[in-house]
């Protein structure tokens, strides 16, 4: 594993949770990878108990799973679960985006534009982690304006469930020399933020829906998913 402890003043469980989550999002702990509690605790300079509690939290979010006789592993998705996650995202995010769009401020649109430029630089540098981070910042600059915190809570959980697989997808695309989709995503984001800058809300919402459809296709194209029941 590749865990490291930061110096931020947090509880032991919070440290373990943050570092495990970051390692999964970075792709250092790939889907299907085992997470050895004793090794993780040693690397983080913690006891096993906060690591175990952090893993229970991640299991509740669907990011890891407990397998009898194997312990905890990073969750692997089936094709059916990918479709299920995106279908729920379509329903929840469409509602959140519609709510957020009428509350969007000029500084929020500026934040979307800044995130897009950061993503553009990350794509050019083939930096998967920075690309994932800036992509999330782009979308949540809008979503965070939704006034329904419960709705946002579920949306964040769905994003978290996909992040380790998103990292793997980016790396697979980079290894294959596939830059076309990365450029297409940038173009789609450009269309979305431009629509908001021009205050064309119906167009922006339509482009966001189309963008999600493309994202689901990317997961099916780039990820080796498990067959149902395996």
Tokens matching residue 21: 């989550």
What is the per-residue pLDDT for 5?
52
What is the mean predicted confidence (pLDDT) over 61-86?
87
**Residues 215-227: tens digit of each pLDDT:** 888 777 766 555 4
Q: Of 15, 75, 65, which is closest to residue 40 (Cα–Cα)?
A: 15
Span 89-98, pLDDT tens digits: 999 999 999 9
| pLDDT tens readout for residues 79-128 | 888 889 999 999 999 999 999 999 999 999 999 999 999 999 998 888 87
Q: How confident is the model at residue 166 (pLDDT cuts 50, 70, 90)?
A: confident
Residues of the chain with CATH 1.20.120.530: 79-222
Whether pTM > 0.85 for this model: the answer is no
Distance (Å, whole) CA 119 – CA 114: 9
- Tell me the CATH class for 12-74: mainly alpha
pLDDT tier for residue 9 given thresholds of 50, 70 and 90: very low
Residues of the chain with CATH 1.10.10.10: 12-74
Question: Beta partners for 74?
Answer: 64
**Among 56-60, 78-82, 150-154, 175-179, the range of highest mean pLDDT:** 150-154
CB 61 within 8 A of CB 161: yes
CATH (residue range 79-222): 1.20.120.530
Q: Can you tell me the distance from the alpha carbon of 125 to that of 25, in angstroms, rounded to the nearest whole number?
A: 18
């Amino acid at each position: 594993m590749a865990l490291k402890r930061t110096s931020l003043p947090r509880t032991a469980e919070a440290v373990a949770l943050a570092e495990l989550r970051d390692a999964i999002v970075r792709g250092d702990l790939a889907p299907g990878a085992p997470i050895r509690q004793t090794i993780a605790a040693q690397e983080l300079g913690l006891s096993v108990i906060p690591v175990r509690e952090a893993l229970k939290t991640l299991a509740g979010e669907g990011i890891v799973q407990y397998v009898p006789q194997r312990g905890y592993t990073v969750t692997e998705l089936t094709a059916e679960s990918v479709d299920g996650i995106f279908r729920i995202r379509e329903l929840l995010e469409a509602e959140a985006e519609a709510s957020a769009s009428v509350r969007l401020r000029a500084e929020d649109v500026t934040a979307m534009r800044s995130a897009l430029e950061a993503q553009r630089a990350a794509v050019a540098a083939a930096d998967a982690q920075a690309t994932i981070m800036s992509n999330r910042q782009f979308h949540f600059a809008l979503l965070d304006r939704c006034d329904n915190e419960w709705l946002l809570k579920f949306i964040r959980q769905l994003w978290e469930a996909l992040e380790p697989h998103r990292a793997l997808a980016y790396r697979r695309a980079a290894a294959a020399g596939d830059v076309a989709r990365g450029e297409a995503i940038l173009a789609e984001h450009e269309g979305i933020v431009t629509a908001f800058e021009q205050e064309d809300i119906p167009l922006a919402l339509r482009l966001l829906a189309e963008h999600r459809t493309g994202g689901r296709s990317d997961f099916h194209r780039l990820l080796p998913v498990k067959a149902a029941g395996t």
